[in-house]
Structure 1
């Protein structure tokens, strides 16, 4: 009884996602897609990357998108839940920075300079 009532509330607000070939979409970044790890550090990973163009619709809920060369190792078929509609605007496209990985999948980081140091003072102790 309660389940059917909740389902009716959700169904009224749910919109079916459908895309056409040639539409542009953002791709949701999750650990499953592996894109977040290949672009930036884990805590700086964006929620969506793109935009990418839809090449083909495979079935009712799966889409094939064109991926750039730096994401060539990732499978190009995605479920509709991993995509977000995008209205094409050429001024929005930002190219990611090139990161050079070594053979053991690590990369070089540049140390940052610390300009300001502040000491904390607790009752009788300064840290």
Structure 2
């Protein structure tokens, strides 16, 4: 029994189950053509919903990959911590919360490659695993003019980054 029916003692009136309030009479659906039309429309709606659901399921199933991890495997974890810093001006409710639990869909398996290993070049990393950036040279300057503002753009060569990272 549905909660509505248990509370009010009658079924909820909806296009799927449209019941008159008051006395109940047994009516032959063939005598009233609109009842038969309503049943046919409900059947068509259910068929179309089922077709849409199966189409969406097949699309998702084709793109889904089964991930299997073993002890010692490495993986990438997709995180969006930096968005929290961008949203500091917004309300507290809109800030993303950090949890120690994440969904497996955020993992991507890592396949080791020796070219991925970076050797640190005299980096002074503190306890929070950060380091201080230091500029080496100013390479280019531009002034971008908007309608009412002028914005200065500066291209900087940083100490721990190469020339290919600037572009």
TM-score range, shorter chain: 0.3 to 0.5
Normalising by structure 1, we get a TM-score of 0.40
Q: Which structure's relative contact order is higher, taking Cα pairs within 8 Å and 6+ residues apart?
A: 1
Normalising by structure 2, we get a TM-score of 0.33
* Structure ID, larger Rg: 2
